[in-house]
């Protein structure tokens, strides 16, 4: 694999850097740079999606026939890298990065024609209904029921840790349509409008104080069978396909490198004396090791993207990307919190751009901030990233998948 950028690749990166510079408003850029988790300010993220869609860049990773780009692996990487460098906020992944791939692969022509264009514009905004109070990493243990009633299913049960349920107008759900056979059987993948009678959303307050996550209750909620993706009782295959994109469908390394470079910059500013910061104890060594791990992750991601570009399934290797990406992100928040010092122990979200409301928080009337904005962001990012090794299937489960599928254990 040749990792040297061609003149054409360099020109591509420069063109898209210039485009990002033109299109990123100060408010949108601020939301990206001052985000406290992987989920930026919702309104700014949606405003950015509209701008990207107008430029044909909301979903370059999609199949071309649905609005994607015929880009090389290198171009996809370079675009992700330029977005990270520009401080652009991320887009909510549940629609564009997750369920859209399932609809494109398993949906009917009518489902593709309706949902895919509307996902691009944000008119259809999805949340994910996978986990339940008693079915998290063991997702096949889910019990939310879908009982057949003519042309509809009647849904009863609840989903938990549902990101952006308070903003979403659709939810994609795994439901149990049969209890026969193995627990992976009898599961159906279905799209549900959030405005149905019997659907209630209850916000959950996270460690960071934000209410990005929710529990969603279904009490005799009715949904058309026409909204099933794939076949009834065969949703487990669809769900596994989607999880490949949730776990490893996008590059971690570009964003992680930007974060590591920011930590280096702040560390240099915090150090005193004439010695270079790499001579100050083992902090510099730990940061250097993190940067090396990011380099390794980048090479693995490029190999994975290359395979995906040839039409090959990323399969179990998405688990490896998920493990490395989330654990590196957690480690970087630990380093950032350490270098933030005492100011990093203060809960002060007011100078930041949280991903959701923080109930009952009262900002100081004078807007006082202990330290700088990056020091206020550090503890919130640290708290948010604790979930990284749990969501999309815990990293312990991912290691079991690799042991079985790759090592044959």
Q: Which domain holds residue 58?
A: 7-91
Claim to verify: residue 72 and residue 155 sit in the same structural domain: no
Q: pLDDT digit string (tens) for 54-74?
A: 999 999 989 899 989 988 878
Q: Are residues 232 and 254 in the same domain?
A: no
pLDDT band at 367 (very low <50, low <70, confident <90, very high): very high
- Answer whether residue 296 is part of any domain: yes
The tens digit of pLDDT for each residue in 239-265 reads 988 876 665 555 688 889 999 999 999
Task: Count Cα atoms within 13 angstroms, Cβ side, for 56.
Answer: 10
pLDDT at 116: 97
Does residue 109 form part of some domain?
no
Q: State yes or no: pLDDT of 398 exceeds 90.
A: no
* CATH number of the domain residue 227 falls in: 2.40.110.10
**374 and 263 in one domain?**
yes
72 & 171 share domain: no
Residue 107 CA, chain-centre distance (Å), reads: 22
DSSP string, 136-161: SSSGGG---EEEEETTEEEEEEEEES
Do 285 and 236 belong together in one domain? no
Task: Indicate if 237 and 258 belong to the same structural domain.
Answer: no
Structural domain includes residue 180: yes
To the query of whether residue 151 is one of the catalytic residues in this protein, the response is no
Same structural domain, 224 and 259: no
Q: How many residues does the chain have?
A: 409
Chosen domain end from 216, 241, 266: 241
- Number of domains the chain contains: 3
Which pLDDT belongs to residue 74? 80
Specify if 150 maps to a domain.
Answer: yes
- pLDDT confidence bin for 392, thresholds 50/70/90: confident
Q: Identify whether 119 is part of a domain.
A: no
Same domain as 72, residue 131: no
Q: What is the CATH number for 297?
A: 1.20.140.10
Say if 295 falls within a structural domain: yes
Q: What is the pLDDT of residues 308-353, one digit of tens each?
A: 555 566 667 778 888 999 999 999 999 999 999 899 999 999 999 9
Q: Which of 224, 241, 258 lies at the terminal end of a domain, its last residue?
A: 241
In the predicted model, is pLDDT for residue 277 greater than 80? no
Give the C-alpha separation, 44 to 223, whole Å: 31
Residue 305 lies in a domain: yes
For the cut 70, the answer to whether the pLDDT of residue 102 exceeds it is yes
Q: Is position 107 within any domain?
A: no
pLDDT surpasses 90 at 183: no
Same domain, 78 and 164: no
Q: What is the pLDDT of residues 122-145, one digit of tens each?
A: 999 999 999 999 987 788 899 999
Do 267 and 385 fall into the same domain?
yes
Tokens for 230, please give them: 């794939």
pTM (predicted TM-score): 0.86
In this structure, the answer to whether residues 258 and 226 fall within a common structural domain is: no
The residues with which 203 forms a beta bridge, in sequence order, are 214
Q: What is the CA radius of gyration of the chain?
A: 22
- Among 37, 65, 91, where does a domain finish? 91
Q: Is 104 left (phi over 0), alpha (psi -120 to 50) or beta?
A: alpha
User: If you average pLDDT over every residue of the chain, what do you get?
Assistant: 89
Higher pLDDT, 291 or 321: 291
229 and 154: one domain? yes
Catalytic residue among 82, 246, 301, 385: 246
pLDDT: which is higher, 302 or 110: 110
The pLDDT of 351-372, averaged and rounded, is 93
């Amino acid at each position: 694999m040749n990792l040297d950028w061609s003149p054409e690749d360099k020109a591509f990166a420069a063109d898209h850097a210039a485009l990002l510079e033109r299109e990123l408003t100060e408010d949108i850029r601020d939301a990206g740079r001052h985000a406290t988790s992987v989920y930026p300010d919702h309104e700014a993220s949606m405003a950015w999606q509209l701008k990207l869609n107008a430029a044909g860049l909301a979903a370059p990773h999609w199949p071309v026939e649905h609005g994607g780009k015929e880009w090389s692996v290198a171009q996809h990487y370079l675009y992700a890298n330029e977005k990270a460098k520009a401080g652009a906020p991320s887009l909510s992944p549940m629609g564009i990065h997750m369920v859209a791939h399932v609809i494109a692969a398993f949906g009917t022509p009518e489902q593709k024609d309706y949902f895919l264009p509307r996902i691009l514009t944000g008119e259809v905004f999805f949340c994910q209904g996978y986990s339940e109070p008693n079915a998290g990493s063991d997702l096949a243990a889910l019990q939310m029921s879908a009982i057949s009633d003519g042309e509809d299913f009647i849904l009863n049960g609840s989903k938990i840790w549902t990101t952006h349920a308070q903003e979403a107008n659709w939810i994609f759900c795994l439901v149990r349509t049969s209890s026969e056979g193995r627990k992976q059987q009898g599961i159906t993948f279905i799209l549900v409008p959030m405005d149905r009678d019997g659907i209630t959303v209850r916000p959950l307050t996270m460690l960071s104080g934000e209410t990005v996550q929710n529990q969603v209750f279904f009490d005799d909620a009715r949904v058309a069978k026409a909204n099933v993706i794939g076949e009834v009782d065969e949703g487990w295959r669809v769900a596994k396909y989607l999880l490949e994109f949730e776990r490893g469908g996008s590059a971690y390394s570009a964003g992680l490198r930007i974060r590591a470079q920011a930590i280096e910059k702040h560390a240099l500013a915090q150090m005193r004396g004439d010695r270079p910061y790499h001579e100050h104890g083992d902090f510099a060594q730990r940061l250097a090791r993190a940067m090396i791990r990011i380099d390794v992750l980048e090479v693995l991601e490029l190999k994975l993207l290359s395979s995906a570009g040839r039409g090959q399934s990323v399969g179990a290797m998405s688990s490896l990307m998920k493990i490395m990406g989330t654990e590196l992100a957690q480690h970087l928040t630990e380093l950032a919190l350490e270098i933030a010092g005492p100011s990093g122990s203060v809960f002060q979200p007011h100078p930041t751009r949280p991903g959701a409301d923080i109930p009952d928080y009262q900002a100081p009337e004078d807007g006082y901030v202990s330290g700088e904005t990056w020091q206020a962001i550090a503890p919130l990012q640290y708290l948010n990233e604790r979930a990284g090794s749990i969501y999309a299937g815990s990293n312990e489960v991912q290691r079991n998948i690799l042991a079985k599928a790759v090592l044959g254990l």
